[in-house]
Structure 1
Amino acid sequence: MLDKLKQLLQRELLDDNDSGDAAHLSVKLAAAALMIEVIAADYHFKDEERDTLLSILQKRFSLDKDVAESLLTEAEHAHKSATDYFAFTSEINRRYSQKKKIELIHILWQLANADQEIHQIEQHVIRRISNLLYVEHRDYIAAKLAATGHS
């Protein structure tokens, strides 16, 4: 049973371009881990943030609820074991177009604002991720304004 679940997760979490190599981080997992970085930044992992994240994972990656929950669990584990953002951002830089990177920054702002309050530490984390993804400052600001309803 556990092996079947692992196979399902590998099949669902690896992109079409993924090789299936265990050392190769799925871009979906990398994006989800960065999303967790943002909502965990203020040390308060609130229910509305988790619900928003789960909903985003389902919609963004066209996943059913069980697979999205599994991705979230894997991303939480990856987040806890990571020492920096490099493994996540390097995978996204390899696979995402500039447009998709900007969309990811927009999602990070949505998550930070899920509790209707953006903390300075969340803003700092998004700024660092944005820099590592080579997203221009104007796109970073536009994503923030759009996510907070100030566009």
Structure 2
Amino acid sequence: MFNDFLSRLIQPEPKPLADEDARLALTALLVRVARADGHFDPDERARIDRIVETRYGLGAEDAVALRKDAEALEAEAPDTVRFTRAIKDAVPYDHRFAVVEALWSVVLADGSRDPEEDSLLRLVSSLLGLTDQESARARHSAQGQSGA
């Protein structure tokens, strides 16, 4: 279903993604992080829906539709390294902190931190060009927003 999109995304020199494609790719990364611990529960789905509603100004139905498309894309997407590097090329540096903050928000949605999720977030943060300290600040910010 997403073969053409994925082949463009993982080219050695990918072109910047159109806004709609960037939304889909970023949402798929949220899904990948949510699935990192082997569970993708309703709280995580709801958190992703709220994030994309807020970030992209979508209504509830459109947010759910985007998440469902992102779930399908994530299942077909290449390894996390290539996938995240492609997203890095699509997202300006000054927006990447917010991306990592959203990723932490999803990790924390189920009320627990799993070692697999922590490990994936450390990798993704690094691949997006953020330091461990920036990732920790993003986590603290996400905890403050969720009340965790």
Q: Same fold (TM over 0.5)?
A: yes
Q: CA deviation at 1:83?
A: 2.7
Contact 1:27 1:91 in 2 (8 A): no
Q: Equivalent residue for 1:142?
A: 137
1:37–1:125 CA contact under 8 A, matched in 2: no
- Tell me by how many angstroms 1:147 deviates: 1.9
Partner of 2:36: 41
Match for residue 51 of structure 2 among 48, 56, 60: 56
- Higher-Rg structure is 1
Q: Greater share of helix residues, 1 or 2?
A: 2
For 1:6-21, what aligned pairs fall within 5 Å after superposition?
Answer: 18=18
**Counterpart of 2:26?**
31
Q: How well do the aligned residues superpose, as a CA RMSD in angstroms?
A: 2.0
Moved over 6 A (4+): none
2:136 and 2:87 mapped to 1: Cα distance? Answer: 20
Q: Is the 8 A contact 2:104 2:138 kept in 1?
A: yes
Query: Could you list the runs of 5+ residues in structure 2 that have no partner in the other structure?
Result: 1-16
From 100, 106, 111, the equivalent of 1:111 is 106
2: distance between equivalents of 1:110 and 1:125? 14
Cα gap change, 1:88/1:63 in structure 2, threshold over 3 Å: closer, same or farther?
farther
Work out whether residues 77 and 83 of structure 2, in 8 Å CA contact, stay in contact via their aligned partners in 1: no
Once the two structures are TM-superposed, the CA of residue 93 in structure 1 deviates from its matched residue by 1.9
Identity within the alignment, %: 27
After TM superposition, the score normalised by the length of structure 2 is 0.78
Unaligned runs of 5+ in 1: 1-16, 20-24
Distance, in Å, in 2 between the alignment partners of 1:65 and 1:91 is 27
Structure 1 Cα separation of the partners of residues 83 and 56 of structure 2? 17
- 1:82-97 aligned within 5 A: 82-86=77-81, 88-97=83-92
Aligned to 1:98: 93
Shift of 1:118: 0.9
1:86 to partner: Cα distance: 4.3
Following the alignment from structure 1 to structure 2, what is the Cα–Cα distance between the partners of residues 75 and 67? 12
Q: Residue 4 of structure 1 corresponds to which residue in structure 2?
A: none
Cα distance in 1 for partners of 2:59, 2:83 equals 23
